[in-house]
């Protein structure tokens, strides 16, 4: 129960923090034109590309997601991270089925919904409107990668420059793919990104929970 409450708290805090700037921007500039959720991209997904484009994306994302970038990290760094209380996924390590509900809440709401609101719903769409879709998708991906570097620094994790570079590349590439999925393959809906982002994090949590990692 304590873990569930902790996950609910984390999810709520993330939603508030990641929605704050988008809401203010919408409230002062767009509230008379469009509803907040529609403005962010909470709309029904509609495939605007050829079906094979989505298939190609699925293949690329599968190989990206299953690629083990930790093979490039020293065993000492991995051991340090696996034993750190500052790495949120460690809370689910080895606890099996007890992790399913709290991980679902935290991964789909605290990560999937909250982070997609700010990065793909707000940053990506604003950048795409100003700079064009390709530059906008790239820029939001850079910011998403840098956010993860900043979170590690704020948590005081001593991981070194090499790990920060890998983290930036891995999370930035994920953001690039999610932005491309929403803006170039679908009709600007962020729902596909939310589902893919949440599912990816949830799978990682389950692998930790059932000791497959």
Token pair, residue 18, equals 């990641």
Instruction: Give pTM, 2 decimals.
Output: 0.93
pLDDT for 14 beyond 70: yes
pLDDT per residue as tens digits for the range 179-199: 999 999 999 999 999 999 999
Q: What is the mean pLDDT of residues 61-87?
A: 88
Closest listed residue to residue 173, CA positions, set 196, 200, 141: 141
Long-range pairs for 71-80: beta carbons < 8 A, 24 or more residues apart: 72/162, 72/166, 73/162, 73/163, 73/166, 77/159, 77/160, 77/163, 80/158, 80/159
pLDDT of residue 53: 93
Domain residue limits at 127: 2-209
pLDDT of residue 102: 95
pLDDT for 206 beyond 90: yes
pLDDT per residue as tens digits for the range 26-52: 999 999 999 999 999 999 999 998 889
Local confidence band at 212 (pLDDT 50, 70, 90 cut-offs): confident
- Comparing 204 with 117, the larger pLDDT belongs to 117
Highest mean pLDDT range out of 57-66, 100-109, 204-213? 100-109
Local confidence band at 213 (pLDDT 50, 70, 90 cut-offs): low
pLDDT of residue 3: 87
Local confidence band at 93 (pLDDT 50, 70, 90 cut-offs): confident
Q: SS3 for 20-57, per residue?
A: HHHHHHHHHHCCCCCCHHHHHCCCCCCCCCCHHHHHHH
The Cα–Cα gap between 18 and 116 comes to: 9
The answer to whether 122 touches 40, Cβ cutoff 8 Å, is yes
Query: Mean pLDDT in the chain?
Result: 93
Local confidence band at 162 (pLDDT 50, 70, 90 cut-offs): very high
What are the start-end ranges of the H helices in the chain? 2-29, 36-40, 51-66, 75-82, 100-104, 114-116, 124-131, 133-154, 160-180, 191-209
The Cα–Cα gap between 177 and 67 comes to: 15
pLDDT per residue as tens digits for the range 77-88: 999 998 887 888
The Cα–Cα gap between 7 and 63 comes to: 29
- Cβ atoms within 10 Å, residue 116: 29
pLDDT of residue 68: 85
Local confidence band at 168 (pLDDT 50, 70, 90 cut-offs): very high
Local confidence band at 107 (pLDDT 50, 70, 90 cut-offs): very high
Number of domains in the chain: 1
Q: How far apart are the first and last CA of the chain?
A: 24
């Amino acid at each position: 129960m304590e873990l569930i409450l902790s996950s609910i708290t984390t999810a709520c805090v993330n939603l508030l923090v990641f929605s704050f700037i988008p809401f203010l921007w919408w409230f002062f500039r767009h509230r008379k034109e469009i509803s907040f959720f529609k403005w962010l991209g909470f709309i029904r997904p509609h495939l605007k590309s050829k079906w094979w484009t989505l298939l190609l994306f699925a293949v690329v994302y599968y190989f990206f997601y299953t690629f083990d970038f930790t093979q490039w990290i020293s065993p000492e760094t991995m051991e340090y991270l696996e034993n750190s209380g500052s790495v949120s996924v460690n809370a689910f390590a080895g606890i099996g089925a007890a992790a399913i509900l709290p991980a679902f809440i935290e991964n789909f709401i605290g990560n999937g919904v909250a982070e997609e609101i700010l990065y793909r719903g707000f940053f990506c769409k604003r950048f795409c409107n100003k700079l064009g879709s390709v530059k906008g998708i790239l820029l939001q991906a850079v910011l998403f990668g840098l956010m993860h570097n900043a979170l590690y620094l704020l948590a005081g994790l001593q991981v070194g420059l090499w790990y920060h570079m890998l983290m930036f590349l891995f999370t930035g590439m994920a953001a690039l793919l999610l932005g491309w999925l929403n803006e170039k393959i679908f009709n600007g809906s962020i729902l596909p990104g939310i589902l893919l982002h949440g599912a990816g994090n949830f799978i990682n949590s389950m692998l930790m929970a059932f000791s497959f990692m």
